[in-house]
Structure 1
Amino acid sequence: MNTEELTNELLKINNYLKKCLWMDFEFAHMDGGKLVVAGRIDTSYNDFAINIEFGTPFFVSSLLSWHLDDATPFIELIEGDALGQLNEKYHIEQGNYLFKINAEGFDSAPIIIASKSLKCEIINEQPF
């Protein structure tokens, strides 16, 4: 995955979630091939509105479920000094992108994921 494709997926995710009043997130699938973060308007509602797939995940540090913080972008690419520090601390293999996911009630992103790719599927264009 090149940086242009990655940027497009990040924009797709953040632009969609910017329009949402709230969203609950959890891991819908996790194995060595992919990790799927799924969001829905309420945990009592069975249908997900968005699936975010991290291809070939290498590292995850996360909550098991969380709520959208609509005051910040949902997902961002980690770059600069923070990237170097996390790469060194967790021995992240080359070729992985590092993502941080913001959550309601946290001053800094409590979710860090390293993976080789990112793909978003918007299931419900207008969940509200």
Structure 2
Amino acid sequence: TETQGLVIGEAKAVGLPVVAIRAFGPAEMVAHGEDGLLTDPSITAFAEAIITLLSDRDLYEAMSAKALENVNSISSAYCAEQMLAVYRELLDRGASAPRRRFSFNGRFLNNKNGSASSMFYRYADRYRLLH
């Protein structure tokens, strides 16, 4: 596996079904049985999935077509749009939304300065300036 997850998108973009271990990341990017196969984290399970895919031409071709169809749902542009939609929703709520306290390693983060949440406020301010 790779830490950035680019290889899954690259494979799907050229119509290659993906075989990956069912873990955070690949499990969100591969539709099991549709555009690839997700396996348990064992060499045997991984090898069996590869053999299954390579020994069944119809399955391979169906998953190949689905990979091309589904690749846009994991593109950087699509993910950026989804993230912007979340930010827009939060900004639209503005001051009318109840303030929540977020905990990180036991510390509450709910102020606009000196905490991890200050990063959100900086980006929110930049967003307001741009839109």
TM range (shorter): under 0.3
Q: Which has the higher contact order (CA 8 A, sep 6+)?
A: 1
Structure having the higher strand fraction is 1
TM-score between the two structures when normalised by the length of structure 2? 0.26
Whose helix proportion is higher, 1 or 2? 2
TM-score by length of 1: 0.26
Q: Highest Rg: 1 or 2? A: 2
